[in-house]
Structure 1
Amino acid sequence: MTVILLRHGRSTSNTAHTLAGRSPGVDLDERGRQQAEELVRRLEGLPIRAIVRSPLLRCERTVAPLAAALGLEPIVDERISEVDYGSWTGRKIGELVKEPLWTVVQHQPSAAVFPDGEGLAAVQARAVAAVREHDRRLAEEHGGDTLWLACTHGDVIKAVVADALGTHLDSFQRITADPASMSVIRYTAVRPFVIHVNHTGDRLTPSLLAEPRRPADGEVPPDDAVVGGSTG
């Protein structure tokens, strides 16, 4: 099973440098709307079987052109919604960097709990559970390997990618998820394979999404193979 983790297009909050969180009505800006239209071409030819999205407006707007082109009705899942930043919601980033909690968010995010909101560890738990549940469900519905897309938010994507990489949540700030970027994870019975992180290029093609071939028992890997990589 392969999931494309899509961050919503650029929003009015992104350009205003505020922490949108779950504020209602935060929409895509002009560039974000263009990015949403471009997704149809960027994903053209890929056999996407399902679209799951955060309930927030900026995610709804981002997947609308793609869903129309594919003839799919997006599934809304609260578990991949934006972080509940509590009383930080709507505030200027320039103000928040002066808060003591900002240092915790940057250096020990697993311990960060937003005032009147939720903690980043809880965000990772709910988002990973949602992705894996949709993965299992779609595998059963389609009889095996399936490609699907989840449209969500930057911190949520970074938390899911960190889990797939097997790295501690405290390292998730090393991962980037720009607006309209795509990160691709292939889940297998052995382990997840992180195929792309923060893909902002022209197109994702089927060959780019293929799982690296694993040598058969006794086969010598090619010279450029990474020992201990996808051969496990």
Structure 2
Amino acid sequence: MATVILVRHGRTTANVAGVLAGRAAGVRLDELGIEQAARVGTRIAAVPLVGVVSSPLERCRQTAQAILAHQADLAGIVLDKGITECDYGEWQGKALKDLASEPLWSVVQSHPSAAIFPGGESMATMQARSVAAIRHHDAAFESQHGPGAVWVAVSHGDIIKSILADALGMHLDLFQRISVGPASVSIVRYGTRRPEVIGTNTDSGDLSWLRAAAPVGDAPVGGGAGNAEEAPASPS
């Protein structure tokens, strides 16, 4: 199937303030976040994308626009609530330092599959709907553009962590072992046998090699020869 580049939005004012933004309106990228979004757009620019799908929240739309700015053949962004931020319910808008004293905090850290946010959704529901959305778009892009298609999904930290956990075959209770920083890039290729996780939480490096990426097949015994097309070395 196609290749999806999972991009977390750039840093926001809420990230700096240590506040759980959730789905609150008016949360935008800060000055560094804008720079991060521009940098990730430049990283992906060498890859001709077949689509950009984004969470409807503003911080993701800002990041998606920075990616779209380098893709002349794409008309716009597809918004999908399926990859929007977790519904944190009553936790939304509260300081993380205060939430850390709540009994639910330890459940979120150690047993997230059992976590249900008061007045919000469970983390298991969050994972199920986000994975379903990503797999739906991936299959649609592959059907329309072929197995070499590459597309971008711009979303949120917990959403991308849960998608990566699914692709890695990890139980949701282990997903806190995965780090996904602001404006980071993670890459997944879905295959008929299994997904293949190409990269996680990267914040630098040329992605032009994705143009030559092959569809997922049998795993190479011994590790294989690496990317078919290596990025050129930077001038010294």
After TM superposition, the score normalised by the length of structure 2 is 0.88
Alignment of 1:102-113 (within 5 A): 102-113=105-116
Q: Which residue of 2 aligns with 1:51?
A: 52
Of 105-114 and 70-79, deviating more is 70-79
Alignment of 1:1-232 (within 5 A): 1-71=2-72, 72=74, 73-206=76-209, 210=213, 221=221, 224-225=222-223
Judge conservation of contact 1:10–1:179 (CA < 8 Å) in 2: yes
Identity of aligned residues (%): 47
The offset of 1:136, in angstroms, is 1.1
After TM superposition, the score normalised by the length of structure 1 is 0.90
1:59 and 1:209 map into 2 onto residues whose CA distance is: 28
Pair 60,214 (structure 1): closer, same or farther in 2 beyond 3 Å:
closer
The offset of 1:37, in angstroms, is 1.4
What code does the residue aligned with 2:183 have?
A
Give CA-to-partner distance per residue, 1:89-132, whole Å, 9 cap, x none.
01000000000000000000000000000000000000010001
Q: Which residue of 2 aligns with 1:229?
A: none
1:126 and 1:99 map into 2 onto residues whose CA distance is: 26
| Deviation beyond 2 Å, 4+ runs, structure 1 | 202-205, 207-216
The offset of 1:209, in angstroms, is 7.5
The offset of 1:207, in angstroms, is 5.5
1:225 and 1:38 map into 2 onto residues whose CA distance is: 30
Judge conservation of contact 1:82–1:153 (CA < 8 Å) in 2: yes
Give CA-to-partner distance per residue, 1:32-59, whole Å, 9 cap, x none.
0111111232112112110000000000
